[in-house]
Structure 1
Amino acid sequence: MALSDTKLRSINGKAYNGPAEVTDGDGLGVRITPTGTIAFQYRFRWQGKATRVTIGRYPTTSLKDARVAVGEMRALYMKGINPKTYFTGSMGEMTLKECLDHWWDKYVEGLRENTRILYRSVVYNTMYTEFKDIPVADVPISMWVKFFDKQEALNKKKARVLLTQLRSVINWCISRQLIPSCELTKLSVKNIGKKADVGDRVLTYSELAKIWLALENSKISSSNRVLHQMLLLWGARLSELRLATNAEFNMSDLIWTTPSLHSKMGNVIRRPIFKQIEPYVDRLINTKNVILFPGMDREKAIDRSSSNTYMKKMRATIDIPDWRTHDFRRSLVTNLSGEGVMPHVTEKMLGHELGGVMAVYNKHDWMDDQRKAYELYADKIFWHVKSLG
C-alpha cells in the first residue's frame, strides 16, 4: 500500500502497534518503532544478498524527498553501481573496504584471470580489513606510513608492489568521484619498500639438459611434467601454455596461436610447432580433451599453484643453483642470440610486440625463422641430453 503524508503524520511521534515495516513502491518503505519514529529505507538485492539503505527520518526527510532519492538510487542500480554510493560517493565517506568492493565489481572483474588472481593476493587480501569504519578520505598520512612500515618489515618487495597497486585503486575511485581525495597519494613509491629484483639467470644447454632428464625420469605422471618440458623448449609464459586448448593448435600448418585472452600483453601470439615438439602436441591432441593440460577436473586447466608446487619439488632434486621456470624464457633468447638469431625473431618467440612504428604496421611473425631457431635450440639441448645419458 502506497504511503501518504497524511498516514505518516498520523503515526509520527505517537504510540504505534501496527506493522514494523510499510512499503511504498520501487523498494521504498518505512520502518516504524513502537514510539512512532519513522525512518525511510530503500531495499534491494546486491550480489545476491538482501540489502537496505536508510535514507532519513520523517519529517526531516519528506516523503517526496525519499521518493526522489530512491529514484536516483534505482538509476545507479540499473547502471550496475551499488546504490549505497548515492550517499557515500557525494559525501566522500566510503571506507577502504567499500572502495575495494566497488573497484573490484566495476573494474577488476573485467580483467584476465591471472590479473584478478594477482590483485586479490596482493591488494584485496591484504587491505580488505584495514582502517575499518574510517572514511578513506579521512585516513591521515601518519596511519598510512605506520601501515607500510609494518609491510616493509614483513617483505620489502611486496610492500612496494602493494603501494603501487593500491595507489591505482585509490586513483580509480577518485577519478570516478567516489571519494574526494586520499592521503595515500602523497606516499612516493620510490620511498617505500624495495624494487623487485630483475632476473638475470641464464641456464646453459647442459643445465637445461639436466632439467629435461629430471622431468623425463620423474615418477610422477601428470600434465605438469609434459607442460614444463614444452615450456623449456618453447620459452612461452606459464599461463600461455597452461591454459591452452586443443583448438589453438593448427596441425595442418603446424602453428600454435595463443589468443589474446591468455596473453599477458593482450596480443595474439603465433609460434611454430617445430619438429621436436610436434610429437608431444600430437599426443596431447589425440587425448581428445578440450583442455590440453587438465588438472583434477578434466574440464579445467591445471592451476598455477599446482604447477608451482610441482616445480618446487622438482628443483630440490636437481643439482642446479638458483633457477626458476621463468628462466627458460631468458635462457632461450640469450642462448639463441649467441647462435646469431636476430632480435626481432627472438622477440616474436617470446610473444612480445615489436616497438615503435613496427608494432603498428608490421604484423609479420617470421614463422620460418622462428621454426629454424626453435629446432636449433632443441637440437642443442637434446645433444646435451644424450651426452648426460
Structure 2
Amino acid sequence: MAISDTKLRSIHGKPYSGAPEITDSDGLGVRVTPRGIINFQYRYRWQGKQHRIGIGKYPAISLHEARNKVAELRLSLDKGIDPKAAASHGRATAKPTVADCLAYWKKTYVDVSLREKTQALYKSTVIKHMTNVFPGVPAEEIPVRSWVDLFTEEEKINQRRARELLVQLRSAINWCIRRQYLPECSIMKISPKDVGVKAAVGETVLSYNQLAKVWLAIERSRASTSNKLLHQMLMLYGARNSELRLAVKGEFDREEDLWLVPAEKSKMRKIIRRPIFPAIEPLLDKAIMTYGDVLFPGPDLKAPMSISGANRFLGRIKDVAGVGDFTAHDFRRTLATRLSEEGVAPHVIEKMLGHELGGVLAIYNKHDWIAEQRAAYQLYADKILSHVKMISG
C-alpha cells in the first residue's frame, strides 16, 4: 500500500503501536518508532542479499523528496552500481549534515584546543547523543520545527540534559558557521532558556553517616579494585577526580610522605602538595601493589580509567547507598564543610582542595601547611571510618 503524506502527518510525533515498517513502492518504506519518529529507508537486493539505506527523518525529508531520492538510487542499481556506494560518493560533496558538523568541530576544535577531561565530556554528551540525528539531511535545511520536536523529546528523557545538549550543539554549529564550514543553521534561532532547565548549582553536603553508607556501598560492590580504591580515596582526599584518577606511582613520595600533583594535571596549572596520612596509606599501598605505575587503570589495566567509567560506577553506588543524589565533586564540598565545622583553618582547607590562596597569601606565602593538612585529613578519615564501624556492626 502506498504511503501518503496524510498518513505520515497522522503518525508523526504521536504514540504509535502499529506495524514498525510501512512500505511504499520501488523499495521505499518507513520505519516508525513507538514515539512516532518516522525514518525513510530504501530496501534493495544486491548480489543476492538484502540491503537497506537510511534516507532521513520525516518531516525534515518530505515524502516527495524521499521518492526522488529512491529514483536516483534505483537508477544507480540499473547501471550496476551498488546504491550504497553511490550514496556514499554523493555525500562526499554534499552539504554537511549534523554528523559532519560535529565531526568537523571535534577534529578542528575539541581535539586540538581542549583538555582531555573536557574532550571526554563532549564525547559522552553532544557527540554521542546528537551525531545520529537527522541522518543524511543537510544541517542548513533542517527547519526550526524539527529542532523543537527533537528537543521536546529530549526534555521527556531528562530536562537538564536537554538544555545541556542544546547549548553544546549550538556551540558546535556556531563554530562551523564561523569557520565557513556551514552557511547557516536554524538551531541558532532556539534559545537555551526555552529548552529544559538549567543545571542547579551544587549544594549537596553529606553527613558522616551518609559518607559511611557510601563507603560501605563501594566496599561491598562487585566493581574492580581500581574503581573501589579511586572513589574511597576521593572521599578521603577531597581531590578533583582527574587529579587522582590520572595519578601514577611516581607522584607519591613515600620518603617525604607527600602526594605531588603535577602542574599539567592541576586545574590551576600549578603543583599541588598534599600529605600522605595514616588512613590513606593502606589504600595507596593496595593500589600500588595491585596495579603498579598506573594506580587506577581501566579495563585494559594499562591506561587510567575514563571519566565516563568512573561516573558510571558512582551512579551504581548512588542506587544502592540510599543517601540521595550526589557526585564525586560533592566529596570536596563535604570535606570543606565538615572540616570547617571541626575548626580547621580556612587556608588549610583551601590547600587541601588544591585552590589558590588570594590576596597577600597568594603573593608572599608559599607555605602549604603540610602538617596541618595531615592532621585535618586524618581527623576527617577517623570520623568517616568510625561511622562505618558503627553502621556495619
TM over 0.5: yes
Amino acid at match of 2:341: G
One-letter code of the match for 2:377? Y
Q: What's the counterpart of residue 142 of structure 1?
A: 145
Q: Is the 8 A contact 1:112 1:261 kept in 2?
A: no
- In structure 1, the residue matched to 2:276 is 273
Identify if the C-alpha distance between structure 1 residues 143 and 249 changes in structure 2 by more than 3 Å, giving closer, same or farther: same
Distance 2:281 2:317 in 1: 25
The match for 1:99 is: 101
The equivalent residue for 2:332 is: 329
1:16-55 → structure 2 map (5 Å cutoff):
none
Distance 1:247 1:387, change over 3 A: same
CA contact (8 A) 1:236 1:350 kept: yes
Q: CA RMSD in A?
A: 3.5
Is 2:229–2:287's contact at 8 Å kept on the other side of the alignment? Answer: no
* Alpha-carbon displacement from aligned partner over 1:307-361 (angstroms, at most 9, x marks no partner): 4454455445545444444432221111112122344433332234456897788
Residue type of the partner of 2:167?
T
Q: Against the structure 1 CA distance between its residues 97 and 337, is the aligned structure 2 distance closer, same or farther, given a 3 Å change threshold?
A: same
Describe the SS at the equivalent of 2:350. Answer: helix
> Counterpart in 2 of 1:117?
120
Computing the radius of gyration over CA atoms, which structure comes out larger, 1 or 2? 1
d(CA) in 2 for partners of 1:121 and 1:315? 20
What is the letter of the counterpart of residue 254 of structure 2?
M
Q: Secondary structure at the match of 1:107?
A: helix
Q: Distance in 2 between matches of 1:198 and 1:174?
A: 31
- Residue 235 of structure 1 corresponds to 238
Matched, 1:197 2:200: yes
| Change beyond 3 A, Cα 1:247–1:98 | same
Residue pairs, 1:84-233, within 5 angstroms? 93-110=95-112, 111-216=114-219, 222-233=225-236
- Indicate conservation of the 8 Å contact 1:290/1:299, yes or no: no
Report the AA paired with residue 195 of structure 2.
I
- Is contact 1:234-1:374 (8 Å) kept? yes
Structure-to-structure mapping, 1:54-93, within 5 angstroms: 93=95
Q: Structure 1 residues 97 and 321, CA, compared in 2 at 3 Å: closer, same or farther?
A: closer
Distance change (3 Å), C-alpha of 1:184 and 1:259: farther
Q: CA deviation at 1:189?
A: 1.5
> Please, which runs of 5 or more residues in structure 2 have no aligned partner?
1-87
Change (3 A) 1:195 1:334: same
Matches within 5 A, 1:279-358: 279-287=282-290, 289-304=292-307, 306-318=309-321, 320-354=323-357
Task: From the superposition, tell whether residues 387 and 121 of structure 1 become closer, same or farther in structure 2 (CA, over 3 Å).
Answer: closer
1:48-69 CA-partner distances (Å, limit 9, x unpaired): xxx9899xxxxxxxxxxxxxxx
Cα gap change, 1:155 to 1:369, in 2 (>3 Å): same
Looking at structure 2, the residues matched to 313 and 290 of structure 1 have their Cα atoms a distance apart, in angstroms, of: 27
Cα drift, residue 194 of structure 1 = 0.6
Which amino acid letter does the alignment assign opposite residue 165 of structure 1? Q
Task: Quote the sequence identity (%).
Answer: 50
Aligned-residue offset at 1:219: 7.2
Change (3 A) 1:107 1:366: farther
Q: Do the aligned partners of residues 265 and 137 (structure 1) sit closer, same or farther apart at CA in structure 2, a change above 3 Å counting?
A: farther
Answering whether residue 393 of structure 2 is matched by residue 381 of structure 1, we say no
By how many angstroms is 1:254 displaced?
A: 2.2
Q: How far, CA to CA, are the matches of 2:139 and 2:152 in structure 1?
A: 19
Aligned length: 304
Pair 1:106–1:354, CA change in 2 (3 A): farther
Give the equivalent residue in structure 1 for 2:40: none
CA 1:265–1:143 in structure 2 vs 1: closer, same or farther (change >3 Å)?
A: farther
Query: What is the alpha-carbon distance in structure 2 between the residues aligned to residue 358 and residue 174 of structure 1?
Result: 45
209 and 112 in structure 1: CA distance in 2 versus 1, 3 angstrom threshold: same
Give the Cα–Cα distance (whole angstroms) in 2 for the partners of residues 277 and 296 of structure 1. Answer: 24
